[in-house]
Amino acid sequence: MQISELKMLVVLSEEMNMRKAAERLFVSQPALSQRLQSIEKALGFQIFIRSQKGLTLTPAGEKMIGFAREFVLKEEKVREQISELEGEVHGTLKLAVASIIGQHWLPKVLKNYVNQYPHAKISLVTGWSSEILKSMYEDHMHIGIIRGNPEWKGMKHHLFTDTLYLVDTEISDIEDVLKTERPFIQFKSDSTYYQEIQDWWHRQFNTTPKRTIVVDQIETCKQMAFNGIGYAILPSVTLEEEKRDIFKIPLLEENGKPVGRDTWLLGFESSFQLKQVQAFVEVVKEYVRKSKEKTQF
């Protein structure tokens, strides 16, 4: 089998859906289906069972996908090692990034990275920080960027701490949340972030919000707050580019210290030996340094 066919099988096993896999592979769904049928015919066994709900691996298919993943991973490592022998930065940079960071902070960093290292490729996975940690352990990602302060046995670098704000179109004083009938808009997140908000709320008010609305994404939460539907608690990283008029009240501890959320860069020591990873880390450090300089003026 060709390497491209093995990579195709890996993508199919990740998506378990012909349409989504076709989109990732930049081919039509009929062409992908026909190619899969040709592979199964050549092998002499069925890899996937097709249904309206998607794809299901057969027992033989599970073994075939295991082989395909192992082969593709080894092929990528060989390419990376060959790239290390060359002068320029090549290879694929595999990133697993918390969704908030991937949406609001990472694009500017990646813009600098691709401008400086045009021969490098980028593979990006986003999700909750708990999911990112899992990806780091299971999916052989080079770099993880996560929120909170998780335990990590590899290399770990602190990037920045951003303040949490209560944002609303009407509420201008933190104590007003006890009087308002406006709902508290929350977004689904990993347990550590949600718990931090709950702990602060109970320390501050010793009660629970009168009304709540829970949405699936932070951007939905932000847009609902900015359009006057209710108030929300958002990290400053999501508000830096926002120009609309809205009250932004920093969350404070009893000692007057702002409530913050840490962002960390982490990875395994072996990954930091790769040139594309080293280059990315340097770009990140430079971006963080310049960002700190801007806040000081």
| pLDDT tens readout for residues 67-103 | 999 999 888 888 877 766 666 787 889 999 998 899 8
How much is the pTM? 0.68
- What whole-number distance in Å separates Cα of residue 43 and Cα of residue 41? 5
121 has a pLDDT exceeding 80: yes
Quote the tokens at residue 140.
Answer: 């052989």
Q: Where in the chain is the domain with CATH 1.10.10.10?
A: 1-85
Q: Which fold has domain 161-261?
A: D-Maltodextrin-Binding Protein; domain 2 (3.40.190)
At 50, give phi and psi (nearest 5°): -90, 140
The predicted structure's pLDDT at residue 8:
93
- What whole-number distance in Å separates Cα of residue 238 and Cα of residue 241? 8
Q: Which CATH architecture has domain 1-85?
A: Orthogonal Bundle (1.10)
The predicted structure's pLDDT at residue 202:
87
Average pLDDT over residues 225-253: 88
Residues 264 and 159: beta-carbon distance below 8 Å: yes
Q: Which of 213, 232, 211 lies closest to 222 in space, CA to CA? A: 232
Averaged confidence pLDDT in the chain: 88
| pLDDT tens readout for residues 210-230 | 889 999 888 899 999 999 999
Identify the weakest region by mean pLDDT among 78-87, 194-203, 212-221, 235-244. 78-87
At 86, give phi and psi (nearest 5°): -95, 165
